[in-house]
Structure 1
Amino acid sequence: MQISYNWLKQFLKIDIPAEDAAETLTNLGLEVEGITAYESVKGGLKGVVVGHVISCEKHPNADKLKVTKVDLGDGNPVQIVCGAPNVDAGQKVPVATIGTVLYTSEGEEFTIKKGKIRGEESFGMICAEDELGIGTSHDGIMVLDADLKAGTPVAEIFDIYNDTVFEIGLTPNRADAMSHWGVARDLRAGLMQQNPQSSPTEIITPSVSKFKVEKRTLKYDIQVEDAKLTPRYCGLTISGVEVKESPNWLKNKLKAIGITPKNNVVDATNYVLHELGQPLHAFDAAKIKGTKIYVKTAEENTPFVMLDGTEVKLTANDIVIADESKPLCIAGVIGGQNSGVSETTTDIFLESAYFNSISIRKTAKRLGVSTDASFRFERGIDPTITDYALKYAAILICEISGGEITSDLTEIYPKKVEDFSIFLNFDNVHKILGINIPHEAIKKILVSLDIKVNSITNQGLGLTIPAYRVDVQREIDVIEEILRVYGYNNIEIPSKINATVAHTKRTEDYKVQNIVADQLVSQGFYEIMANSLTAPQYNDLVATINKNETVQILNPLSSELSIMRQTLLFGGLESIAYNINRKNSDLKYFEFGNVYAKTLTGYEEYKRLALFATGNKYTANWTTPAQSVSFFDFKGIIEAIFQRLGILKYNTQTVEDEIFNESMAFVLGDREIVRFGTVKKSILKHFDIKQEVFYAEFNWKNILNVVSSKIKFTEITKYPVVKRDLSLLIDENVSFNDIYNTVKMVDKSTITDVSLFDVYQGDKLPKNKKSYAISVKLQDAEKTLTDNQIEKIMSKIQTALEKEYQANLR
């Protein structure tokens, strides 16, 4: 939001540097993100002076050029070559001296330099209107008043408007500060806190004492159908207006804050909007059918052409301003193309209203329209100034358009919006802020914010909050107001740090999460945080995602963020695609996040942990060749998490899942703890990912249910490990998981590990057969194993494999 410093000074009698005012506003929470200078003529005509043309002769080498001698007021006339047909001796003219920067109509700058034109030296430029930026004429040079003194800066002759503009990053809760009046209120409070003796205590508001109904010749009856949607509505008519260009002072005020002037009537409504924060709208009375104005909701699917020419379909939830036959305006959002003010307008109906903020927001978001009016109505304007702003605007329009007020101000206000009361407890102020602010200082801060103090006791203050402070509804909000005016920077940093030690179980959610996160980071993973909102078309990629459980957003920011995610997969793939497109293809991510579902009993959310791995395990160098992450690498990372959490007794299952080409799950009892595998190429193709991606999704609730809080320590045995390898010929449908479980069951106490180190399938083997090479580790914690014991166990393993899977040793 752009705020003019000159405009602020209409409300406050202050003369402090703009930078100091900006710092005060920032400390108050109205962060000034930038300060820019505004000049009605770009460059401010710096370096342009009045010149007296002493002589004017024809250029010896060019028919259309003239060589002039010009007095610039310093006693040293200079020679200037000029091509204007109207230049002549004796004239007073604007001269851009050497080094002056001028700007083209497109805003491009050029510097006046000493030069030669057809052999004659030239020491400046005699300027036309458009070259100075104060007009559009280029028929010839400007001829100034003959009484002007040579050397006078031209900026002193013309009305050059200079201003300083603050770019304020307004937070959505500060609806009261959406105008120059609102910002001035805050600035006054801040300055009073900084210097109570010399700071302004009053806000100078525009007077409406000149408001007068000249005649009553044009009147509209107003009918408001729903007072909840339109609590307050005011209107009046102005006749005999001449729609034309606005005066310079008004155009400069609007241009300074980035508003393009249109005509005097529209500019006046925009001026009042940005000055007081009250949106207004002017209708061409000639385009209103009948003598009645209806404020109502539209009929379903009513066509409406907006000011920008776009046609939309209105719904039964949209508030409109209508005449007897058609909608004239979408209330609080945008006017209609067929009812607005034009050059032929002579009579207008002017409205000022207070609409329901939720209704306006829904309409604006549904239509994808954002205007200065909707921006304010959505957040909540001041309901007490509706009539005041209308009178002020009517006076202004009459002054600049020649019109006169031709109806009484009609107001529909069935139930007054009241201020509300809060009791502020002094002890709570101290408890929350941690400092003792004197009671009298608290009172002065609140008064400076236009918060009325109704009663004072030893315990606290009885307060009345203005209705326009929609962000101050509770005692804690009042305390926040006290703090921001008192000054966050005035809170001393304590010399002593107090801390409490909380006794929590090792299996608390955040502790388990930190343990897992630390381990993953140590393995080269990076934590990501994807958006919980996602695109509905992603769900079409996986047939098993139940679309009936999708949580829809009622008021989405865009179609790409219109539902809540049901899996963490797609956010991670978006991040992977983004990095691969930037030549970063070796990636390992993890994310803790929630997924969401709509169930028969309501809305549910479930916590998940997602792992992603793609690309190479290590960065290739002269000692280590590139090696891609494999399924077993990824499985080992998951198993390491289980081992770190003390989850040791789990089973492995092969599962079918629409997300994966190949997938497995680790289960404990009837609880699935994690499902992982290689993401299907059809899904990767949608994200334009051409390399293999491994994905795992942990059910975090099940993790917390099975993680053990008991830590068991065992002494490292001093007896050696024995390793034996077996090469097996088995049916191709036998999985390693089957082999693993069978071997482990032979002797659980002695067989410590079974691993697969080679797989072969080819034409050298019988049909439907494959070869597994497995390694078995044996160890006894009490003694060294003898050869006979080892051979006995290996024989049992061989027998078990032959019996279960008809395996043959190769």
Structure 2
Amino acid sequence: MKISYNWLKEFIDTDKTPQEISIILTGTGLEVESLEKVQSIPGGLEGLVIGFVKECVQHPNADRLRITKVDVGGPEDLQIVCGAANVAAGQKVVVATVGTTVYPTAGEPFKISKSKIRGEVSEGMICAEDEIGLGTDHAGIMELEADAVVGSLAKDYFKLNDDYMYEIGLTPNRADAASHLGTARDVAAFLKIAITKPDVSAFKVDNNNRPIEVVVENEQAALRFSGVTISGVEVKESPQWLKERLAVIGIRSINNIVDVTNYVLHELGQPLHAFDADEIKGNKILAKNYPEGTIFKTLDDVERKLSEHDLMIGNAEEPMSIAGVFGGIHSGIKASTNTIFIESAYFNPVSIRKTAKRHGLKTDASFRFERGTDPDMTVFALKRAALLMQQVAGGDVSSEIVDLYPAPVAPFAFDVTYKNIDRLIGKVIPHAEIKGIIEALDIKVVNETEDGLSLQVPPYRVDVTREVDIVEEILRIYGYNNIEIPTQIRASLNNSQRPEKDTVQNQLSDLLTANGFNEILSNSLTKSAYSDNLETAVKILNPLSSDLDVMRQTMLYSGLEAIAYNQNRRAADLKFYEFGKVYSVKDDKYSEVQRFSIFITGANAPEQWNQKPKPVSFYNLKAIVDGILQRLNITDYVVDDATCKKMAFGLQYMLHGKQLVKFGSVAAIALKKADMDKEVFYADFNFDLVLSAVRKNKIVYEEVSKFPAVRRDLSMLIDKSVSFGQLKQIAQKTERKLLKEVSVFDVYEGDKLPAGKKSYALSFVIQDIEKTLTDKTIDAIMQKLIYNLGKEAGAEIRK
């Protein structure tokens, strides 16, 4: 949000410098992100002086040029060649001297240099108003009044004042400060001075020749609607003061009527809309909703399909503007407009926010309506705008003020105690000073006792609804820097479980990042189309859009969206991981579970000159999953090779009867929902369960054995239904002490084997940490392995 220093001073009488005001604003919670000097006219007319044309003769070599002698207050007159048809001796003019940079209204700045024009020396330029940024007229040079002082600065003659612009990082809760009035209120409270509002006492109704009927059909969305008609206005360019005031805060001048509505919006924080009264068919304005799909063309010449939930301002036949958001192309102010109707309303913030999001529109008006404007400001702002329009455009107020306010918004009423104020601030502030700060912030004290105050907070302070909010208001005006740091700090010590969640998360992040993975962060809000069971989905009551209407129930689709985004930008080989929560509800009980997900797709390694790229496979993902569990020393899980939900094929590891991780290839139906067709491998960890398992780990250190390990291999014929995991479990159960490792190094399936059979070659690593193994011991272990594998898995040893 942009605030003008000079404009701010119209509300408060202070000699504080712009830099001092900047410190005050930041201290009161309106953080000044930047402060810059602004010239109302680019260049500030620097180097331009008032001159007197003493002579003007025809250029000997050009019919349209004149040679002038100009007195600019220097020791010698300047010879200037001028092409303006209206230049003549005896004029007071604006002169750009040699070395001056001029900033035209249109085009790039340029520097004046001494030159020859058609053979005659020219030592400057006599200026037209568009050549120095004062306007758009290029019919001829500017002719100044006779009282202009020769040699004086042009910036003094035109009374240009430098201004300063504050860029304030306005937080969403401070809608009350989204104007110069709101910002001035904080400064005045801090400085303990009065605030001066614009005087609207001169407002009067001149006649009642153009009354316009107003009907509010949707009173839930249009809580208050005020309006007035002004006839006989002249739409033209705004006066210089108005254009300069808006230019400082980055608002482009359009015409005097529209400029006044923008001026009042940034002055008082109340959005206004001016309609061409001749376009109000049936002489009637309605605040209503139109049928779903109604076509409406906005000011930007874009046709939009309305929702049945969009509040519109219409006439007796058609909509004219999207209420609080954007005007229509036909009912706006035109050069021919003679009569206008000014709308000043208080709209439901939720309704405006949804409409603005739905149509992808963000305007100065919607910005304020979404956060909550002042329902008590509509009529005051209307009078202020009417007086300004009469000042800059003429006309008469030709109707009584319409003010429909069926259900006034009540102030927030509650009590505060001095005891709680002192406790939360940590310092005893005099009661009189507390009361003074509260009243300076436009909060009404309705009752005072020895213990505290009964307050009524105006409805525009949507962020002050509780006692603790008042304490914050007092503290920010009193000054955080004025609260002394105590010499004694009391704190409670909490014994958190080890290792902490962040420690485990960082271990996994380091491991995966070192193996070429990138971390992604996704929004917990997603679309309900991704949900397999909407009954258990946590739905958003006021969704920003249809794509963000539920809390995610799985990490799958956020990862698929990230992959699709990258693949659409020619990044095909991807390795992602993400930490996040998933949400569900059952029997009105809400649940959130911490998950950890992994995604791989594309090639397993970049293409090389000496090898072709190989696509990632299920086994690449399994190696990653196993590596993670090995890194965390989680070994007591059970392998379940049942097909996982949402997986084309996959595995799941169970830990104490709960699913620790499921992983595999993403099913085609899920890929289709994310508009993808390339294979993706996905692993989904229950991170809460992972964390619980890690915390139960006991670290045991043992000496590295000095006795050698022995490897023995077995080739066996087994049923195709038997998995390596089953064989490994049988082997580990057979020899728990000396068997250190079991792995498969060859698998064969083919027509040379009996039907339904496959061949596995397993290696067994055996070691005794206390002595060297003998052949007798090794043979005994192998015989037990052969027997149990045959008995429990039907394995036939191949000789």
Alpha carbons 2:106, 2:130 under 8 Å: kept: no
Q: Deviation per CA, 1:539-560, whole angstroms, max 9, x where unpaired?
A: 5xxxx95677666656555666
**Does the CA-based 8 Å contact 1:41-1:161 persist in structure 2?**
no
CA contact (8 A) 1:281 1:352 kept: yes
- Aligned counterparts of 2:115 and 2:171: Cα–Cα separation in 1: 53
Change (3 A) 1:781 1:631: farther
Q: Distance between the aligned counterparts of 2:227 and 2:779, measured in 1? A: 103
Cα pair 1:725 1:773 within 8 Å, conserved? no
Following the alignment from structure 1 to structure 2, what is the Cα–Cα distance between the partners of residues 179 and 751? 77
Q: How far does the alpha carbon of each residue in 1:691-715 deviate from its partner, in whole angstroms, 9 at most, with x for none?
A: 9976421123544666664737475
The corresponding residue for 1:441 is 433
How far 1:411 moved relative to its partner?
2.8
Check the 8 A contact 1:759/1:770 in 2, yes or no.
no
Partner of 2:707: 720
Cα drift, residue 11 of structure 1: 0.9
In the alignment, is the contact (CA less than 8 A) between 2:746 and 2:762 conserved in 1?
Answer: no
Determine if the alignment matches structure 1 residue 791 to structure 2 residue 779.
yes
Q: Take 1:267 and 1:140, find their aligned partners in 2: how far apart are those partners?
A: 27
Indicate if the aligned counterparts of 1:71 and 1:77 stay in contact, CA closer than 8 A. yes
- Alpha-carbon contact 1:319-1:331 (below 8 Å) kept: yes
Unaligned 5+ segments in structure 1 are 193-200, 621-625
1:663-722 Cα offsets, whole Å, 9 max, x none, are: 332113542211234668999999999999764211235446666647374755867353
Deviation at 1:167, TM superposition (A): 1.9
Contact 1:676 1:696 in 2 (8 A): yes
Partner residue, 1:14: 14
Change (3 A) 1:676 1:513: farther
Shift of 1:119: 6.2
Q: Does 1:393 pair with 2:385? A: yes
User: In structure 2, what is the Cα distance between the partners aligned to 1:245 and 1:225?
Assistant: 37
Mapped to 1, the partners of 2:624 and 2:293 lie a distance apart of 57
How far, CA to CA, are the matches of 1:634 and 1:373 in structure 2?
52
**How much has 1:166 moved relative to structure 2?**
1.8
Is the 8 Å Cα contact of residues 235 and 352 (structure 1) preserved in structure 2? yes
Which of 262, 265, 280 aligns to 1:270? It is 262
The TM-score with structure 2 as length reference comes to: 0.85
Contact 1:365/1:555, CA 8 A, preserved across alignment: no
Q: Counterpart of 1:10 in 2: which secondary structure? A: coil
Uncovered stretches (5+) of structure 2, i.e. residues with no partner:
608-612
Question: Which stretch has the larger CA shift, 759-768 or 215-224?
Answer: 759-768
* C-alpha separation in 2, matches of 1:688 and 1:406: 59
With over 3 angstroms needed to count, the CA separation of the structure-2 counterparts of 1:103 and 1:767, relative to structure 1, is farther
Alignment-mate amino acid for residue 754 of structure 1 = V
SS at match of 1:44: helix
1:404 aligns with 2:396: yes
Given the superposition, is the C-alpha separation of residues 402 and 68 from structure 1 closer, same or farther in structure 2, using an over 3 Å criterion?
closer
Q: How far 1:353 sits from its partner (Å)?
A: 2.5
- Residues 640 and 460 of structure 1, relative CA distance in 2, 3 Å threshold: farther
CA contact (8 A) 1:565 1:596 kept: yes
- Alpha-carbon distance change, 636 to 215 in structure 1, aligned in 2, over 3 angstroms: closer
Q: Which residue of 2 aligns with 1:359?
A: 351
Among 607, 612, 618, the residue aligned to 2:594: 607
**Match for residue 362 of structure 2?**
370
3-state DSSP class of the match of 2:222?
A: coil
SS of alignment partner, residue 264 of structure 2: helix
| Higher alpha-carbon deviation: 694-703 or 182-191 | 694-703
What's the TM-score, normalizing by structure 1? Answer: 0.84
Q: Bigger CA drift: 743-752 or 548-557?
A: 548-557
Deviations 1:631-664 (A, max 9, x none): 7776566446546766432222334357667633
Which secondary structure does the structure 1 equivalent of 2:784 belong to? helix
Aligned 8 A contact 1:524 1:588 in 2: no
2:85 pairs with 1:97: no
Distance (whole Å) between structure 2 residues aligned to residue 372 and residue 530 of structure 1: 29
The question of 1:238 aligning with 2:226 is answered no
Q: Does 1:422 align with 2:414?
A: yes
Q: 442-451 vs 168-177, which deviates more?
A: 442-451
Q: 1:214 to 1:462 in 2, by over 3 A?
A: same
Cα 1:327/1:57, change in 2 over 3 Å: closer
Give 1:475 deviation, angstroms: 0.5
C-alpha separation in 2, matches of 1:292 and 1:444: 47
Q: What secondary structure sits across from 2:44 in the alignment? A: coil
In structure 2, how many angstroms separate the alpha carbons of the residues matched to 1:744 and 1:430? 67
Q: Is residue 444–residue 457 contact of structure 2 (8 Å, CA) maintained in 1?
A: yes
Q: Which residue of 1 aligns with 2:640?
A: 653
Is the contact made by 2:537 and 2:585 (CA closer than 8 Å) also made in structure 1? yes
Give the CA deviation at 1:585. Answer: 10
Aligned pairs, number: 788
**8 Å Cα contact 1:719-1:780 kept in structure 2:** no
Q: For residue 452 of structure 2, what is the aligned residue in structure 1?
A: 460
Task: Give secondary structure in 1 for the equivalent of 2:99.
Answer: coil
Assess, with a 3 A threshold, how the Cα gap between structure 1 residues 567 and 270 changes in structure 2: closer, same or farther: same
Q: Secondary structure at the match of 1:675?
A: strand
User: Do the aligned residues in 2 keep the contact of 1:519 with 1:641 (CA within 8 Å)?
Assistant: no
d(CA) in 2 for partners of 1:63 and 1:239?
49
Q: Distance in 2 between matches of 1:191 and 1:617?
A: 66
The residue type equivalent to 1:477 in the other structure is: D
Give how far 1:77 is off. Answer: 3.5
* One-letter identity of the residue aligned with 2:365: A
Give the partner amino acid of 2:469.
D
Asked whether the 8 Å contact 1:719–1:779 carries over to 2, the reply is no
Q: Structure 1 vs Structure 2: percent identity of aligned residues?
A: 47
1:503 to 492, 495, 505: 495
Paired amino acid for 1:675? K
- Structure-2 residue corresponding to 1:749: 737
Counterpart amino acid of residue 579 in structure 2:
F
1:410/1:148 CA distance change after superposition, 3 Å: closer
Cα offset for 1:43? 0.7
Secondary structure of the 2:504 match is: helix
Equivalent position to 1:516, from 491, 504, 508? 504
Residue among 463, 472, 491 paired with 1:471: 463
8 Å contact from structure 2 (residues 105, 134) kept in 1: no
Stretch moving more, 593-602 or 261-270: 593-602
1:774/1:615 CA distance change after superposition, 3 Å: farther
Kept in 2, the 8 Å contact 1:719–1:784? The answer is: no
What residue is the counterpart of 1:168 in the other structure? 168
- Give how far 1:264 is off: 2.8
Establish whether residue 566 from structure 1 lines up as the match of residue 553 from structure 2: yes
Give, in angstroms, the shift of residue 798 of structure 1: 3.5
Q: Answer with 679-688 or 89-98: which moved more.
A: 679-688
Query: Partners of 1:57 and 1:292 in 2: how far apart?
Result: 63
Shift of 1:476: 0.8
Shift of 1:480: 0.9
| Match of residue 663 from structure 1 | 650
Q: What does 1:771-790 align with in structure 2 at a 5 Å threshold?
A: 774-780=762-768, 785-790=773-778
CA drift at 1:792? 1.1
Deviation at 1:343, TM superposition (A): 3.1
Q: Distance in 2 between matches of 1:336 and 1:290?
A: 17
Equivalent pair of 2:644/2:652 in contact (CA under 8 Å): no
Tell me if the contact between 2:653 and 2:660 (Cα under 8 Å) persists in the aligned partners: yes
How far apart are 1:244 and its partner, in Å? 2.9
Q: Which amino acid aligns with 2:124?
A: G
Are 1:593 and 2:593 matched, yes or no?
no
Structure 1 residue 471 displacement after superposition: 1.0
Q: Is the 8 A contact 2:41 2:244 kept in 1?
A: no
Instruction: Specify the alignment match of 1:198 in structure 2.
Output: none
User: Quick one: distance in 2 between partners of 1:418 and 1:764?
Assistant: 85
For 2:489 and 2:761, how far apart are their aligned partners in 1? 61
Give how far 1:520 is off: 2.0
Residue 132 of structure 1 corresponds to 132
8 Å CA contact 1:283–1:341 kept in 2: the answer is yes
The change in CA–CA distance for 1:691 and 1:237 in structure 2 (over 3 A counts) is: closer
Q: 1:101 to 1:472 in 2, by over 3 A?
A: same
The residue that corresponds to 1:33 in the other structure is 33
